Amino acid sequence: MNADLSDLLRLLQNLIRLGTIAEVKGTKARVRLGPTLTTEWLNWAARRAGSTRTWSAPTVDEQVIVFSPGGDLTRGTILPALYSQAFDAPELNQSVHTTHYPDGAVVQYDHAAHALTATLPGGTATITADKVTSNAPSTICTGDLTVMGKLLVEQSATVNGATALNGGVNAKAGTAGGVAMAVQGTIKASEDVLAGAISLAKHPHGGVKAGGDQSGRSQS
């Protein structure tokens, strides 16, 4: 009778156990439940595992819960995760939703401040789509901007730094008419400037005398 009671208490104790991740391999992990007890390889619970799938592997020493049907630890499931001394809460502000990565990257949204930030310690950020639309009234790029395809500006754009256009510029006046391009300063062309079919460098000027006279000036 005492042996049966002891087995029952052991099974009850194993229904829900706290532990830390000991090893991770593929989609399974082993959990350290005490100084001398480590589980077999168990699955951990994912947020989604159907046609929509998520992936975030647990970390060694991360504190977790093991749920074992009937108290059988060999059939347990790992439920991540609980904050611990090894891995404390990265944020205490209740208005902030954040994810911190081991390389120092942080993705965070503060719903009180309406601020979404993504901080990457080097590396790259890539968006692959047929079309990306920004409805922000103002977009600021503090570094260099390289456009490999066409740059189409429907309304206006302001560039405060030097601009290199390697594919040419095609400026067209808006639907209301007006000037297609206004330049405040000097335009320097290494080859030629065309106005319609007229070449600035090559077209002849009529009514000009040889010598020191210049075209385009009235003679007094």
Mark whether 65 and 113 lie in a shared domain: no
Asked whether residue 75 is domain-assigned, the answer is yes
Taking alpha carbons only, the member of 177, 181, 179, 176 closest to residue 165 is 181
pLDDT for residue 91: 95
Q: 67 lies in which domain range?
A: 3-79
| DSSP sequence for the chain | -HHHHHHHHHHHHHHEEEEEEEEEETTEEEEE-SSS-B---EEE--S-BSSSB------TT-EEEEE-GGG-GGG-EEEEEE--SSS--S---TTEEEEE-TTS-EEEEETTTTEEEEE-SSS------S------S-----S----SS----SS-----S----SS------BTTB--S---SS----SS--EETTEETTT---TT--SSS--TTS---
Is residue 195 in a domain?
no
Q: What pLDDT does 192 receive?
A: 84
Q: What's the CA gap between 123 and 105, in Å, rounded?
A: 10
Measured distance CA(98)–CA(118) in Å, rounded: 10
Residue type, 140: I
Q: Are residues 94 and 116 in the same domain?
A: yes
Which residue's entry shows tokens 């009235």? 218
Q: Confirm whether 17 is domain-assigned.
A: yes
Supply the pLDDT for residue 132.
Answer: 92
Q: Which residues of the chain have pLDDT under 70?
A: 1-3, 205-220
What is the structure's pLDDT at 130? Answer: 95
Q: Does residue 29 fall inside a structural domain?
A: yes
Instruction: Please count the structural domains in the chain.
Output: 2
User: Would residue 140 count as lying in a domain?
Assistant: no
pLDDT value of position 151: 80
Do 54 and 25 share a structural domain?
Answer: yes
Q: Tell me, what's the pLDDT at 169?
A: 77
Residue 202 covered by a domain: no
Inside any domain, residue 201: no
